[in-house]
Structure 1
């Protein structure tokens, strides 16, 4: 088992990564918190698999909210429903909310915890690869608006993250592959050894170490730039164009990982147009090896229009993350007019 600490501005996160540690959740919670009530938020996919097992670990009362699965439910209406359940359960600021699920559940629950009673304790238990290597760590929470992805949110560090890599064996192949997009991202921006690891035929036997390497990179970046004003932007490699594609697809036609894979390839093409080393073929081949799409399925004009609502836009420019060399990410502030020209050029 691995243990990492993330020292945030207002709280420290303890992150445990290991095989079979889901069954140790109650022990780790007792070491960290003293709640009189616990509320678990999960979704309709995860609840039948893990909810009762988790509830049974606790000697105190546990209440639950089960939300519909899917990015299209990552809305303020869903948050309002969780608020109502927390109020009915009479949770106080000394009590605990647990996010049990993938990235959507983690983002919604984190935002709810950040804003209910102006802040309540939260523990993340990510059940997808994407959530384990990325969204459960670092304190970014939020929900989508019709205008774009994650436009309402807060920085709110979970005090405890339990990452059980055994859970990955229960994932459908397409959900596992979805998370591989974020793993590939970490290899591109910080540690090319990750790309070598996932190129091995038996890489799934090494998932505990792969997950650890990704989380370690994110921990190191977030500790230097918790609120996403500088270095943390490199974690958005593939996300700016990817989020635009997700929006054009109404958050239902592409998964987040699929959109990020497409976005990374598009960012590589953009880097080549700006005179950087062209990693388009290398990233394309890595993504395809893990059954991720690499072609933009929508007109670039529509994706560009969606990108104009991205959080990384600043006035008449937008921050794009480019790779040079492989394993090192660079932040490029590109004027919108130039970006439009580059994206639409053959």
Structure 2
């Protein structure tokens, strides 16, 4: 088993990565622990049953799949369920699923009784390499994504690459967008390997590399004030595209893929990126103009008055912040 420890300012927490890890859950989580298992209603039942069998002292809460569930309404419903079942401060929330589940369940854990235990068990590629690591948890308002949230590191992250076999090709590609992002901003060797080989031939190692990159940025800038903003490459435009289409046309990774291409000023670098995105069946363009996305882009938390801060890539493996005036953003 590979162990990566994130040294958060709030707490140090381990990330365990191993094929078949879910079959050994009771070796890493005490089975007497009182847990709340939160998942969406589309996660494969076989995964849910493995966790429930390993942790018999559980309360199970499910919610409708999709970005629309990262809402005050769903959050409120979960909170009422916890209260109705008499959950106390010694309970641990288990976020079992993808990025939406991790964000929503994480925010529940951060705020219920001013904070309870949290274990992330990500079951999508995107969640395994990105959203489960770093402590960002949040919900949306209709007008803005991740606008209500907190920094709340988990106690433990458990990554089992074998569960990714349950993903359909589009969901797998959703996570590949974030992995390609890591190569673009910080690791030319990873980018080249993804280009030369099929990621499935070295998937566990690729996950370890991706998590290690995320760990470096988180430890250097936990609260997203400086270098950690590089992880938002593609996200300013990507989040706006998701909202523009009411979270119906693109999943997160697809929108970020388009956002990455649009954020790069160097045409040669952009072409190399497009080639790799297409290899993993990700989109590289959309007909909506940047100016039509401004209502959402100006709400991005990274921006300053009168300027949009885009993460750009000068050459593969080296990212920087490029300030663009709102008036010139086309």
Normalised TM-score (structure 2): 0.96
Which residue in 1 is equivalent to 2:130? Answer: 134
Q: Following TM superposition, by how much is the alpha carbon of 1:335 offset from its aligned partner in structure 2, in angstroms? A: 2.6
Matched, 1:259 2:249: no
Which has the larger displacement, 80-89 or 193-202? 193-202
CA 18–309 in structure 1, closer or farther in 2 if over 3 Å, else same? same
Secondary structure of residue in 2 paired with 1:154? strand
Which residue in 2 is equivalent to 1:312? Answer: 302
Counterpart contact for 1:248–1:298, Cα < 8 Å: no
Per-residue CA distance 1:165-220 (angstroms, 9 max, x = gap):
00111111111011100000000000111122222444302111100101001111
Q: Following TM superposition, by how much is the alpha carbon of 1:333 offset from its aligned partner in structure 2, in angstroms? A: 2.9
Matched, 1:207 2:207: no
Give the counterpart of 2:48 among 36, 51, 56: 51
Matched, 1:92 2:82: no
Which residue in 2 is equivalent to 1:291? Answer: 281
Q: Counterparts of 2:68 and 2:188 in 1: how far apart (Å)? A: 34
Counterpart contact for 1:324–1:330, Cα < 8 Å: yes
Counterpart contact for 1:234–1:329, Cα < 8 Å: yes
Secondary structure of residue in 2 paired with 1:91? coil
Secondary structure of residue in 2 paired with 1:56? helix
Task: Say what the alpha-carbon RMSD is for the aligned residues.
Answer: 1.5
Which residue in 2 is equivalent to 1:336? Answer: 326
Matched, 1:153 2:149: yes
Counterpart contact for 1:197–1:210, Cα < 8 Å: no
Secondary structure of residue in 1 paired with 2:323? strand
Which has the larger displacement, 194-203 or 147-156? 194-203
Q: Following TM superposition, by how much is the alpha carbon of 1:7 offset from its aligned partner in structure 2, in angstroms? A: 1.3
Give the counterpart of 2:236 among 240, 251, 257: 240
The gaps in structure 2 that reach 5 residues or longer are: none
Per-residue CA distance 1:144-169 (angstroms, 9 max, x = gap):
11111111110000110000000111
Which has the larger displacement, 126-135 or 145-154? 145-154
Paired residue total: 330
CA 302–239 in structure 1, closer or farther in 2 if over 3 Å, else same? same
Per-residue CA distance 1:242-291 (angstroms, 9 max, x = gap):
111111011122100000000010011xx23xxxx741111111111110
Give the counterpart of 1:175 among 162, 171, 176: 171
Which has the larger displacement, 184-193 or 202-211? 202-211
CA 202–266 in structure 1, closer or farther in 2 if over 3 Å, else same? closer
Counterpart contact for 2:32–2:55, Cα < 8 Å: no
Counterpart contact for 2:33–2:55, Cα < 8 Å: no
Secondary structure of residue in 2 paired with 1:66? strand
Secondary structure of residue in 2 paired with 1:116? helix
Q: Counterparts of 2:148 and 2:138 in 1: how far apart (Å)? A: 5
Secondary structure of residue in 2 paired with 1:330? strand
Which has the larger displacement, 11-20 or 42-51? 42-51
Q: Following TM superposition, by how much is the alpha carbon of 1:3 offset from its aligned partner in structure 2, in angstroms? A: 0.4
Q: Counterparts of 1:229 and 1:11 in 2: how far apart (Å)? A: 19
Q: Following TM superposition, by how much is the alpha carbon of 1:53 offset from its aligned partner in structure 2, in angstroms? A: 1.5
Matches within 5 A, 1:215-226: 215-226=211-222
Q: Following TM superposition, by how much is the alpha carbon of 1:138 offset from its aligned partner in structure 2, in angstroms? A: 0.2
The gaps in structure 1 that reach 5 residues or longer are: none
Counterpart contact for 1:35–1:94, Cα < 8 Å: no
